[in-house]
Amino acid sequence: MRALKAGHPNIIVEFKQGKDLERLKKEALQQILENKYYIGLTGEIICIGLAHHKKKCSLIYEIITPHND
């Protein structure tokens, strides 16, 4: 999600489904970072890896400020 106002962070969320929430949330975050889903965004970006199974969920996040690659 691109921030609509200057000074607000952009947010990227990757979802994974399965029983191993710890592994899946880390894989989701790694996918965002490896594939550079943040290309084209400026400023602060909150990258969230979220795993869920039925009514349980777990997430991990990393805040990045990308450099112009």
- How far, in Å, CA of 50 to CA of 42, rounded? 23
pTM above threshold 0.85: yes
Per-residue pLDDT tens over the stretch 33-61? 999 999 999 899 999 999 999 999 999 99
Report whether 2 contacts 41 (CB < 8 A): yes
Q: Provide the β-strand partners of residue 61.
A: 48
Residue 68's pLDDT band (cuts 50, 70, 90)? low
